[in-house]
């Protein structure tokens, strides 16, 4: 069953979406609605006070014909944590999981041939239609999930130029691990400036020299046999791909160092042959090809380890190698 891959990531959606409303202190039965529009009161809390968070995960159709979800429990747990920090009602884990599985079953036929996937976008929004609630949480909410067939947008060999930003932060430090739209809005001025002034694809946020993450992906330095990445703090997003890459690398015999490191250490390592990768659900792993540090472009000489780790992880996702860590949930 061959289907064309949409040209733009996340631009085509399965016709329907599961929706559940939270009201009267309870999650209501799931309803299936057209995914083209969503009726909301214009005063909805999310639209005024940013009570919104989201998730991103993928389902894969494997060579044998099975369709699997990759680590859905991790995304469910992370959205529950985002909700708690934003004072939104926490989705019920079992209902949420069931919505995901049912949606994948309904949309499975729309997954393009490998290497492609079904990208799932759970979204949680506060819906109280009261604009006087600037300083109070929303008592009502909606959880819905979009499904979007996506290709492998990763293009081997295409440039990934990263501006190293040491003055500005991506978002407020206590919000870093919350997967919310507000953090993306907060990073936008620096991301656009990096593009306009340096032709950079992304910004690596390193406040006071502390290497954290980019606007939408985690960052890992690969120095000989060692993967170096910042330990989990509130300041940045705890990526599921980050965790999966560290695990796959540990299995492959790498030393994993979750520790703070500075731009100076990063620069020295890269000038001496180290690799650097970005990790996230959409592209899995993108090897960095150059950094702009203090106005100077520094090429990254090597990308082989990054490619090999990418293959190790996607091989598990597509069923070409053993799922040793129990990451896959068979859906249909």
Residues of this chain that interact with ligand PLP (CB under 6 A) are 56, 179, 213, 216-218, 237, 239-242, 279-281
Determine the Cα–Cα distance for residues 147 and 256; give it in Å rounded to an integer: 34
Nearer to ligand PLP, 213 or 275 (CB): 213
Nearer to ligand PLP, 281 or 314 (CB): 281
Determine the Cα–Cα distance for residues 117 and 104; give it in Å rounded to an integer: 11
**Residue in this structure with the two tokens 């995901």, named with its chain if needed:** 100
Report in angstroms how near the CB of residue 197 gets to ligand PLP at its nearest: 22
Nearer to ligand PLP, 21 or 215 (CB): 215
Report in angstroms how near the CB of residue 168 gets to ligand PLP at its nearest: 15
Nearer to ligand PLP, 121 or 193 (CB): 121
Report in angstroms how near the CB of residue 241 gets to ligand PLP at its nearest: 3
Q: How many CA atoms lie within 13 A of 283 on its CB side?
A: 18
Determine the Cα–Cα distance for residues 74 and 58; give it in Å rounded to an integer: 12
Report in angstroms how near the CB of residue 196 gets to ligand PLP at its nearest: 21
Closest Cα partner for 45 from 118, 175, 172, 139? 139
Nearer to ligand PLP, 56 or 122 (CB): 56
Q: What is the DSSP letter of 141?
A: E
Tokens linked to 167: 């003055």
Report in angstroms how near the CB of residue 89 gets to ligand PLP at its nearest: 21
Nearer to ligand PLP, 21 or 120 (CB): 120
For residues 91 and 76, is the Cβ–Cβ distance under 8 A? yes
Tokens linked to 39: 């009726």
Nearer to ligand PLP, 99 or 240 (CB): 240
Tokens linked to 13: 């959606």
Query: Which segments of the chain are extended strands (E)?
Result: 16-23, 26-27, 31-34, 52-54, 57-61, 67-70, 116-126, 141-151, 161-165, 202-205, 213-214, 218-223, 226-229, 255-258, 275-280, 284-287, 290-293, 296-299, 328-330
Report in angstroms how near the CB of residue 161 gets to ligand PLP at its nearest: 18
Closest Cα partner for 142 from 185, 181, 100, 89? 89
Report in angstroms how near the CB of residue 54 gets to ligand PLP at its nearest: 8
């Amino acid at each position: 069953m061959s289907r064309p891959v949409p040209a733009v990531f996340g631009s085509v959606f399965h016709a329907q979406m599961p929706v559940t409303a939270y009201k009267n202190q309870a999650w209501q039965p799931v309803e299936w609605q057209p995914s083209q529009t969503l009726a909301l009161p214009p005063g909805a809390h999310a639209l005024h006070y940013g009570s919104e968070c989201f998730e991103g995960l993928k389902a894969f159709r494997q060579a044998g014909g099975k369709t699997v979800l990759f680590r859905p429990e991790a995304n469910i747990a992370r959205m529950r944590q985002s909700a708690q920090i934003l004072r939104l009602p926490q989705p019920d884990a079992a209902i949420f999981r069931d919505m995901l599985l049912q949606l994948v079953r309904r949309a499975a036929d729309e997954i393009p041939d490998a290497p492609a996937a079904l990208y799932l976008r759970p979204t949680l929004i506060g819906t109280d239609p009261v604009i006087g609630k600037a300083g109070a949480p929303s008592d009502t909410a909606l959880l819905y999930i979009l499904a979007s067939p996506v290709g492998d947008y990763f293009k081997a060999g295409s440039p990934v130029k990263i501006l190293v930003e040491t003055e500005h932060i991506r978002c407020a430090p206590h919000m870093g691990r919350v997967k919310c739209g507000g953090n993306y809005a907060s990073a936008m001025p620096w991301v656009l400036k990096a593009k306009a002034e340096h032709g950079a694809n992304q910004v690596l946020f390193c406040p006071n020299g502390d290497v954290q993450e980019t606007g939408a992906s985690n960052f890992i330095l690969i120095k000989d046999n060692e993967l170096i990445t910042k330990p989990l703090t509130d300041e940045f997003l705890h990526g599921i791909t980050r965790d999966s890459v560290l695990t796959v690398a540990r299995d492959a015999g790498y030393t994993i160092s979750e520790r703070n490191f500075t731009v100076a250490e990063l620069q020295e390592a890269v000038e001496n042959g180290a690799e650097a990768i970005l990790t996230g659900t959409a592209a899995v792993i993108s090897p960095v090809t150059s950094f702009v540090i203090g106005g100077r472009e520094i090429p990254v000489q090597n990308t082989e380890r990054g490619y090999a780790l990418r293959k190790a992880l996607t091989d598990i996702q597509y069923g070409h190698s053993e799922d040793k860590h129990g990451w896959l949930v068979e859906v249909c």
